[in-house]
Structure 1
Amino acid sequence: MSNKRTILLFVVLAYGFAWIIWLALWLSGVGLNSPWIQLASIVAMWMPALAVFILGKITNQPSGIKSKLVVKLKSNWRFYLLAIWLPAVISFLGAGLYFLVFPSNFSLGFESIQAILQEKGVLQSPIPLSSVVLIQILASLTYAPFLNSLFALGEEIGWRGYLYPALRERFSLVQTHVLLGLIWSLWHLPINLQGYNYGLTYFAYPVLGIVAMFLFCFSVGILLSWLMEKTGSIWASALFHGAINATAGLGLLFQLPGEKMSSLLIFGPSPAGIIAVLPCLFLALLILRRERKHHEFCK
């Protein structure tokens, strides 16, 4: 089977398995706050890995994933530290940029946490809200990236472990990242159409959300591929992926709640927003430019 056909088959499988899960829950009317959605998202994150496994059985060709699951920590520890803590820097810079544009949305009263507690029937937090925020920040910088990487690994096996090198065999470095960003972002479409990441009340729904998700996946995808190539391990990209998921919501702790604020989630403060993604996009383009020159020099 040709490289083009195996790529297409992988995409169909990765989309099909995940979309069946998300669309089934959407049609059943389950809300985003339901634990079923959280469970479905965890399962869906492993569907690209399942697609790689099934693709190997169909084509009877080795995927090469096993060699990329080796952790060479001694020679690459700096990149693993970057994978753990760089996402926090990106998230805070993005949130800071968002709040510079929308300063009236920023608050140190942590009303968003109080609103969540009230929705759950808790009228007053047993500990100060500032302590709750501190615990969340510490968690996102310590154990949360490792915990989340166990879920993110399923995606990384598919997107970075298989699809990235497969696309590189056919396309240039820039074309590969654009295509991978597009494929990865549209993979999230069913759950984003339900309001995940951006809500349902933003301007030009859902087109602007599709654009925002592409910018985010394109930017983060470059960093993830760069880490995998530098370390030779999918675990580095999985750790970064887990860390970005752990830190993406930190900016929301300082966001005022309310319907008006919800319509601005398309811009931030999570790094998936159009404004908040800019620091990540800037860094990704710098790395892409450097890697492109390196590849041209090696030729």
Structure 2
Amino acid sequence: MSKSILFLIIAFAISWLLWAPALLSSVGAIKIILPTEPFVVLGAFGPSFASILLSYLYEGKQGVMDLLRKAARFKVRVGWHLLALLLLPLLFVLAYGVYYLAHGKFYTSELISEPRLIVPFFIYSLLLGGSLQQEFGWRGYLLPRLQRKWSALRSSLVLGLLWSVWHVPLSFISGTIQSYIPFWLFAAAIVALSVLFAWLYNNAGESLWITILFHTLLVLSFSGFPLIDMEKDGSYAGFLYFTIALWITAGIVALTYGSNLVRAQTGRTAKDLAG
């Protein structure tokens, strides 16, 4: 657990320090108006950088290579790939539909009006949208260490709380998604998402690639079905419906797969299930 705590200290320190200028500018603590995106993007690398640094310090080049191999573990059953690709878009569409039925309106986005942008935005989301910046840390480094002490379900809930706290500065930086959503609601979504991430990771044979793909689809889906209007009314009702859908899904997963989030099969491990 000492390595986990050290990871959290380094990840939080890097991210929060890099986000600090944009935060201070947004709240008026400094009079210089700074562009927020470069600071937000760079700060998001904190978890992955911390994981690579600690892997090297404690395990040398082999530790870093082991981490990278998880990200290159592409040999995963098609079903888990389909879940990583389709589950979140389906939940977003569901929340979008409920919002439309309840409020009689919906928010448009560039990805809906210009489908040709999906591929370039997928690439951006993969590289700079949070996936590669975070997944080496949260699922590649921290989750396995938490699971040595606790069940996968408990580990994912603890990780979800830590992950949500890591996002706190973004709630005060102008223009970020988090600045338009109450922190309690955002944290609730993150904790439920953490359960789904752990479920995919464990059943895909500890494939970091699957969680990177899942994270990319999270960002891409939000861009296509924003659920909040960041330019007009600022309503977050759509995100509330999405969060409820996440918790229902996470609950079904927990009831179906149990506390280890892997369907028990005699003599078979998570890596075996990945095929």
**Pairs aligned (count):** 254
Give the 5 Å matches for 1:137-286: 139-140=117-118, 142=119, 144-151=121-128, 152-195=131-174, 196-199=176-179, 209-232=182-205, 233-252=207-226, 258=232, 261-262=233-234, 264-265=235-236, 267=237, 269=238, 273-286=239-252
Contact 1:228 1:236 in 2 (8 A): yes
Contact 2:92 2:225 in 1 (8 A): yes
Instruction: Please state how far the C-alpha of 1:19 moved relative to its aligned partner.
Output: 0.4
Query: Quick one: percent identity of the two aligned structures?
Result: 20
Residue aligning to 2:50: 51
Q: 1:49 to 1:188 in 2, by over 3 A?
A: same
Task: Tell me how far apart the structure 1 counterparts of residues 218 and 166 of structure 2 sit (CA, whole Å).
Answer: 18
Task: Tell me how far apart the structure 2 counterparts of residues 297 and 253 of structure 1 sit (CA, whole Å).
Answer: 37
Contact 1:133 1:253 in 2 (8 A): no
Residue aligning to 1:117: none
Task: Tell me how far apart the structure 1 counterparts of residues 52 and 188 of structure 2 sit (CA, whole Å).
Answer: 29
State the TM-score, normalized to the length of structure 1: 0.73
Which one-letter code corresponds to 2:255 in the other structure? Answer: R
Higher Rg of the two aligned structures: 1
Task: Tell me how far apart the structure 2 counterparts of residues 99 and 193 of structure 1 sit (CA, whole Å).
Answer: 29
Which one-letter code corresponds to 1:217 in the other structure? Answer: I
Which one-letter code corresponds to 1:279 in the other structure? Answer: A
Query: Which runs of 5 or more residues in structure 2 are unaligned?
Result: 267-275
Q: 1:182 to 1:286 in 2, by over 3 A?
A: same
Task: Tell me how far apart the structure 2 counterparts of residues 164 and 154 of structure 1 sit (CA, whole Å).
Answer: 16
Which one-letter code corresponds to 1:27 in the other structure? Answer: L
State the TM-score, normalized to the length of structure 2: 0.79
Task: Tell me how far apart the structure 1 counterparts of residues 20 and 55 of structure 2 sit (CA, whole Å).
Answer: 26
CA RMSD of aligned residues (A): 3.1
